[in-house]
Amino acid sequence: MTVDDAQLERAATFWVREDADERQMDSDDVRSQVDEFLSQRKICALATGGGDSIRCTPLEYDWRDGALWIFSEGGLKFRGLRESGRVSVAVFDANGSFGKLRSAQIQGTAQIVDPSSSEYEAEAQARRIPLQTLRDMPEPMWLIKIVPTEITLLNSGFKEKGFGIRQTWRP
């Protein structure tokens, strides 16, 4: 079977069609669910891209003040950050079974935080990393701030409460 453009478009819009008739939560409730979910986890997969470079990197994050904060030594993900700053992030329960899935898909923009800024200092303090330790490193420890433009939660448990399993929050 050859797959044509119409079939691919139908596949691409599957969840748009599925979600159209599902009951949506109030935006504040979705935000509360986002905060709870992201605060209880610490590992994400960060996807960056630009030109011929696409990278997906597992990283530790902190969810604070409506943003993801990621310290990183560097790596190829910075090519995508430099070229576009648009990112996609996935956070999920690794061993979810059918009917018990929980995940977050995050679209947003990333910026590199100036190491001399108060934001950088605040994140170091939140992580209990001595600022001097970061400053004494032979290579900089970069801080990536990801500001979401959209977060979609997938939670099979939402169905039990009368809502669609996918709920989207747009800040």
Q: What is the mean pLDDT of residues 163-169?
A: 95
How do residues 59-110 score in pLDDT, each as one tens digit?
999 999 999 999 999 999 999 999 989 999 999 988 766 667 899 999 999 9
Q: Give the residues across from 168 on adjacent strands.
A: 152
CA dist 169 to 7, 28, 73, Å? 28, 9, 30
Record: fold of 5-169: Pnp Oxidase; Chain A (2.30.110)
Q: Which amino acid is at 163?
A: F
Whether this model's pTM surpasses 0.85: yes
Helix (H, G, I), strand (E, B) or coil at 42: coil
| Predicted pLDDT at 37 | 97
Identity of the amino acid at 83: E
- Per-residue pLDDT reduced to its tens digit, 123-150: 999 999 999 999 999 998 999 999 999 9
Residue 46 has pLDDT above 90, yes or no: yes
Instruction: For residues 8 and 4, give the distance between their C-alpha atoms in angstroms, rounded to a whole number.
Output: 6
Residue 156 has pLDDT above 80, yes or no: yes
The DSSP bridge partners found for residue 166 are 154
The residues spanned by each domain of the chain are 5-169
